[in-house]
Amino acid sequence: MLFGIEDPYVWSALVLCILSMILCAIYGALRWNYDD
- Closest approach of Cβ 30 to another protein, in Å? 8
Q: Give the nearest distance from C-beta 4 to another protein in angstroms.
A: 3
| Residue 27 to residue 5: CA distance in whole angstroms | 29
Site mask for another protein (CB under 8 A), range 1-36, x = bound: --xxxxx-xx--xx-xx--xx-xxx-xxx-xxxxxx
In angstroms, the CA 33 to CA 24 distance is 15
DSSP state of 35: -
Please give the single-letter amino acid code of residue 21: M
| Least Cβ distance, residue 26 to another protein (angstroms) | 9
Count of residues that bind another protein according to CB under 8 A: 25
